[in-house]
Homo-oligomer: A and B are copies of this chain.
Amino acid sequence: MIFCRRLRNKWQELLHDEQLKRRIYVIIFESDTPMGKLFDVALIGFIVLSILVVIAESIKSWDSVIGPYLRMSEYIFTFFFTLEYVLRLYCSPKPRRYALSFFGIVDLLSTLPFYIGWIFGTARYLLVIRTFRLIRVFRVFKLFDFLNEGHLLLRSLVYSSRKIIVFFLFVLIMVISIGTLMYMIEGQCEDSAFNNIPNSIYWAIVTMTTVGYGDITPETPLGRFLSAVVMLLGYTIIAVPTGIVSASMIQEQKRRSSQKCPHCGRSEHEEGASFCKYCGGRLESGDK
């Protein structure tokens, strides 16, 4: 009984040991210390490995040879990622905020499918649940967290998002109209691949984006003429998103280079510069 109480006390202590929490927080959440850096690199390695395991599991011909090893590494990875998730919750100053953040949810989703498959482990539903386990691939999104350069790209896209949305709406209208027209032209013949409007719209998207699988192709002269028009249209309007993004990137670059040095007040710094080239003062970097 005394032992039990002691254990509980120890546990209570551990749960509220602010110094330990802080030390773990520095290792797990930050990457400035050598330990933190090591942890991050090891985590990336683990994530990549676990993704490779998921991919390898899907190859049926490998299953008889290395299947058991893959399943075992499965257990190990899930154990580590669960531990990591619990530690993150434990050491985070605001656990709820972390749990509801994008990466909190991704961290949870990357371990959960394994347990669901383990508890409701009847033979029949196992296969369906295994597909859920594949969501662990999204763990890979964590990789993105470690890079700051991505922000410029994201900002350029966000900056021009309104124009891109309008563009997509326009494409949607085009694609629905063209798909319906092609259904009217090609769909009357029997055995035509344009057998309903959704398939015709699918064809219109395949054609307009210049993907061109060739699983659905026009057979009638009129259908071929219309699809030629659609291709040339797609070929031209591919210029629109490119133009939007190019223009916003050049804008972004100009803003960066016209940024004034807080020390000497001069501008026109090179893109990517962190220090003023005139006085050596640190620039207020836009994307950090």
Contacts and interface: CB of A to CB of B under 8 A. Distances in A.
A247 B253 contact: yes
A187 B224 CA distance: 18
Given A232-B209, A239-B244, A170 B149 contact: no
A17 interface: no
B209 A235 contact: yes
B171 A232 contact: yes
Contacts of A170: 144, 150, 153
Given A166-B153, A214-B215, A251-B253, A239 B245 contact: yes
Given A210-B209, A232-B209, A236-B164, A141 B249 contact: no
Contact of A166 (B131, B135, B147, B272): B147
Interface stretch (A5-13, A96-104, A115-123, A191-199): A191-199
A169 interface: yes
Contact of A177 (B138, B147, B202, B227): B138
A80 B44 CA distance: 50
Interface residues of A, number: 87
A249 B253 contact: no
Contacts of A140: 173, 176-177
A245 B240 contact: yes
Contacts of A232: 168, 171, 205, 209
Contacts of A147: 166, 169
Interface of A: 51, 54-55, 58-60, 131, 134-135, 137-138, 140-141, 143-144, 147, 149-150, 152-153, 156-157, 162-171, 173, 176-177, 180, 183-184, 187-188, 195-199, 201-202, 205-215, 217, 221, 224-225, 227-228, 231-232, 234-236, 238-253, 271-272
What 9 A-B pairs are tightest by C-beta distance, nearest first? A211-B212, A213-B214, A243-B245, A58-B197, A239-B245, A214-B214, A239-B242, A243-B246, A209-B235
